[in-house]
Amino acid sequence: MNITAAMVKELREKTGAGMMDCKTALTETGGDMEAAVDWLRTKGLAKAAKKAGRVAAEGLIAVAGDGKAAAIVEVNSETDFVARNQQFQDLVSGVAKVAAATPGGRDAVGAATFPGTAKTVDDEIKEAVATIGEHINLRRADRLEVEDGVVASYIHGAVAPGLGRIGVLVGLRSTGDKAKLMAIGRQVAMHIAAASPLAVRPEEIDPALLERERAVYREQAKESGKPEAIVEKMVEGRVRKYYEEVVLLSQGFVVNPELKVGDALTAAGKDAGGDITVTRFIVYRLGEGVEKVETDFAAEVAAYAKK
């Protein structure tokens, strides 16, 4: 397969590895991008795959809720300028309030009635497109509820209450004091925004993802030349370290790095008067996973000048 400069550039952006190493990795793996990432990791030339590409989506993340239930939404716009527009901010806040009262995800929220109107959320957004003059899209919506406990939230990069570029919801099940639960819940939500855990507990990690990590660790360990039994022990040691990096309860707590998040919650539960269980967390990062369309501005200007 012909390895193009664009493929090498993409791999370099994903892994931070050198250009020649990226080209070698793609050649060795027949141009398979994900396999090339793992090849580089096996050789110690890349730490891990980054989220693909830079993103083009602007807009806002919003959270809303009443303590026992909360929702998080992402509403995209074309420019950051519109995201700072009061009309747009009011629209996104309204969508979040609808989502907090509407189970069922994005489509259910889009079909629900927008506050103070007879229109659906989707129709209200269409009207906003006409008045603001820019494409606006309700990209996604999630809702989190606990029967006994609290749902805490955190917004990073806030431009207004409940509006920003990163949003987190975390559910805490407990019979303890609700105010104290909300306080530790907000700290855990802040931790999640900073530390990017993949799961609450080890058993919740995607088995395919875990097996991929094991395969990389196994290849790295084999290069040591040690016996198979030792290799497997090395692999298990790396897996335990991986859990500390990506499992919420095993991560060092950003508020107090001397404690693991699980230990901090145990202590907080004693103070609140009831054991605390993290039921689930949701994280939205603005534009996450949306590929940026690369443009050559100079070429665009030249092409326009020829018209």
Q: Quick one: pLDDT band at residue 215, thresholds 50, 70, 90?
A: confident
Please determine, for residue 296, whether its predicted confidence score (pLDDT) is greater than 70.
no
d(CA 64, CA 71): 6
Q: Is residue 273 included in any domain, yes or no?
A: yes
Residue 178 resides in a domain = yes
Task: Specify whether 3 is located in the same domain as 128.
Answer: no
Query: Is the pLDDT assigned to residue 135 strictly greater than 80?
Result: yes
- Indicate whether 40 and 130 sit together in one domain: no
Which tokens belong to 92?
A: 């996104």
Residue 46 lies in a domain: yes
Q: Strand pairing partners for 58?
A: 77
Q: Tell me the CATH number at 154.
A: 3.30.479.20
d(CA 213, CA 207): 10
Q: Which domain does 7 fall in, by range?
A: 1-54
Mean pLDDT of 253-282: 96
For residues 71 and 47, state if they share a domain. Answer: no
| pTM given for the model | 0.74
* pLDDT band at 17; cut points 50, 70, 90: confident
Q: In this structure, are 174 and 274 located in the same domain? A: yes
In terms of domains, do 118 and 174 share one?
Answer: yes
Q: What is the pLDDT of residue 291?
A: 54
Task: Examine the domain organization and report whether 77 and 173 are in the same domain.
Answer: yes
What's the whole-number mean pLDDT along residues 156-161? 94
The string of DSSP codes covering 35-68 is HHHHHHHHTTS-S-PPPSS----EEEEEEEE-SS
Mean pLDDT to the nearest integer, 248-273: 96
Q: Is 153 left (phi over 0), alpha (psi -120 to 50) or beta?
A: beta
Domain total in the chain: 2
- My answer on whether 277 and 143 are in the same domain is yes
CATH number at residue 36: 1.10.8.10
SS3 content of the chain, % helix, strand, coil (to 5): 50, 20, 30
- For the chain, give the percent of residues with pLDDT over 70: 91
pLDDT score of 299 more than 60: no
For 86-130, the pLDDT digits (tens) are 999 999 999 999 999 999 999 999 999 999 999 999 999 999 988
User: What average pLDDT score do residues 1-11 get?
Assistant: 87
Interaxial angle between packed helices 207-222 and 33-42, expressed in degrees from 0 to 180 and rounded to the nearest 10: 40
Quick check: is 117 in a domain? yes
What distance in Å separates the CA atoms of residue 194 and residue 67, rounded to the nearest whole number?
Answer: 22
| Whether residue 149 is found in the same domain as residue 266 | yes
145 three-state secondary structure:
strand
Assess whether 100 and 144 both reside in one domain: yes
Helix (H) or strand (E) holding 92: helix 86-100
pLDDT tens-place string over residues 27-55: 999 999 988 888 888 877 775 444 333 33
Rounded-to-integer distance, Cα 100 and Cα 142, Å: 8
- Residue 113 located in a structural domain: yes
The reported pLDDT for the residue numbered 52 is: 35
Same domain (yes/no): 49, 121: no
Residue 3 scores a pLDDT above 50 = yes
Residue 233 lies in a domain: no
Q: Dihedral sign, CA of 239, 204, 190, 177?
A: negative
Q: Are 72 and 167 in contact (CB under 8 A)?
A: yes
275 and 137 co-located in one domain: yes
Q: Is the pLDDT of residue 232 over 70?
A: yes
Helices (H) and strands (E) in the chain, counts: 12, 9
Inter-residue contact 210 to 99 (CB < 8 Å): no
One domain for residues 275 and 142: yes
